[in-house]
């Protein structure tokens, strides 16, 4: 049972730049998830899943393009982020809990045979949801995300290595993170900084210049430290629930629908690390697909190349006869 839950006041989201969408909420059994649901509900559906520490605002430019093309677009906010409820206790934000919340959302929504674009934790969570709900999707696009496939001694080594990286980084400021962008500084900053400057973080992980209004929109869900449990904990649980993740990977390998990878070239965490190739080789549906590396795009490529992403998704769905 979650002891205390906060909801960011709606006033924090007043007059957001380029975000004219209607709010929808679903009760997931004690916590409410906010989601966007745009376009005709009779049309084919595309899910857009965000990661840490963003929210559905990240997709504000892609949504109108996809809707104009004739798709229904659903973009949820993870619990602890955006307009969704925010459990105050960091222990509520386990990897398993986030997978359960998203699974409940998908099951209650009842949409099957959809398409999805997953990035960052959107993939780490969404892929596990798909593993246990294979009829949810008929098309999958993954970008700048990963899923651990760890067994044997690595299950012991990997979490300890990541904890060591965090410890060695100390308590970096956002300026120090800017000077050396890596996992250790990322998790250490989010864990320890008295004030999280989310807008500045997003700017550091994009190639385009964000306006002050856009950076303010990324700060909006977290008006004070009480609201930080989600972003503080998410970076810290990357290497958790490894047995369940491994099991879900084995299920995913049997899922044979078309898969496209759209990783970016300037992601300081994942570029040139081979994570896109793991998806291309583990999914039979990825064979022969027009995978590309998106150029001039950092970790949050939805900001940097939203037109290219939306256009490539639309063309690929056409090519694979999704409509």
Say whether the peptide bond before residue 53 is cis (omega within 30 degrees of 0): yes
Catalytic residue from among 34, 50, 98, 299: 299
- Please confirm, yes or no, whether 299 is among the known catalytic residues: yes
Q: 3-class SS at 263?
A: strand
Separation of first and last alpha carbons in the chain: 42
Select from 67, 82, 66 the least CA-distant residue to 31.
Answer: 82
Q: Angle CA(170)–CA(168)–CA(231) in degrees, nearest 5?
A: 60
Q: For this structure, is 120 an active site residue?
A: yes
Q: Report phi then psi at 74, rounded to 5.
A: -120, 120
Q: Among this protein's residues, is 267 annotated catalytic?
A: yes
* Residues 6 or more apart whose Cβ sits within 8 Å of residue 35: 24, 25, 26, 56, 74, 75, 76, 77, 105
Say which of 77, 85, 120, 276 is annotated catalytic. 120
Element (DSSP H or E) covering residue 34: strand 32-38
Strand partners, 87: 5
Q: Is residue 146 a contact partner of residue 265, using CB atoms and an 8 Å limit? A: no
| Pairwise CA distance, residues 231 & 237, whole Å | 11
Which residues fall within 8 angstroms of residue 122, CB to CB, at 6 or more apart? 48, 49, 50, 51, 78, 145
Is 118 strand, coil or helix? strand
The torsion angles phi and psi of 284, rounded to 5 degrees, stand at -60, -30
Per-residue burial over 265-285, b if 16 or more Cβ lie within 10 Å, else e, is: ebbebbbeeebbebbbebbeb
Q: Which of 77, 85, 248, 267 is catalytic?
A: 267
As annotated, the active-site residues are 120, 267, 299
């Amino acid at each position: 049972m979650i002891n205390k839950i906060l909801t960011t006041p709606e006033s924090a989201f007043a007059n957001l730049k380029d975000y004219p969408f209607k709010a929808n909420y679903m009760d997931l059994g004690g916590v409410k998830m906010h989601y966007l649901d745009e376009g005709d509900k009779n049309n084919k559906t595309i899910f857009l899943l965000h990661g840490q520490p963003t929210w559905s605002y990240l997709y504000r430019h892609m949504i109108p393009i996809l809707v104009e093309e004739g798709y229904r677009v659903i973009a949820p906010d993870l619990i602890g982020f955006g307009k969704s409820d925010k459990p105050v206790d960091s222990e509520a934000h386990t990897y398993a809990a986030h997978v359960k919340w998203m699974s409940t959302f998908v099951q209650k929504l009842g949409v099957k045979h959809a398409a999805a674009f997953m990035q960052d934790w959107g993939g780490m969570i969404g892929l596990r949801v798909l593993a246990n709900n294979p009829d949810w999707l008929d098309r999958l696009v993954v970008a700048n995300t990963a899923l651990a496939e760890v067994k044997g001694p690595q299950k012991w080594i990997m979490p300890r290595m990541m904890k060591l990286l965090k410890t060695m980084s100390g308590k970096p400021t956002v300026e120090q993170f800017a000077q050396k962008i890596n996992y250790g500084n990322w998790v250490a900053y989010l864990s320890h900084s008295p004030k999280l400057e989310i807008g500045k973080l997003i700017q550091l992980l994009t190639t385009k210049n964000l306006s002050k209004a856009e950076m303010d929109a990324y700060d909006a869900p977290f008006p004070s430290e009480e609201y930080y449990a989600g972003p503080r904990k998410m970076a810290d649980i990357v290497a958790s629930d490894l047995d369940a993740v491994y099991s879900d990977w084995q299920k995913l390998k049997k899922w044979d629908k078309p898969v496209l990878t759209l990783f970016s070239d300037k992601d300081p965490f994942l570029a040139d690390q081979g994570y896109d190739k793991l998806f291309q080789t583990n999914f039979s549906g990825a064979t022969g697909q027009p995978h590309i590396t998106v150029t001039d795009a950092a970790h949050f490529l939805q900001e940097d190349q939203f037109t290219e992403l939306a256009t490539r998704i639309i063309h690929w769905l056409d090519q694979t006869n999704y409509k």
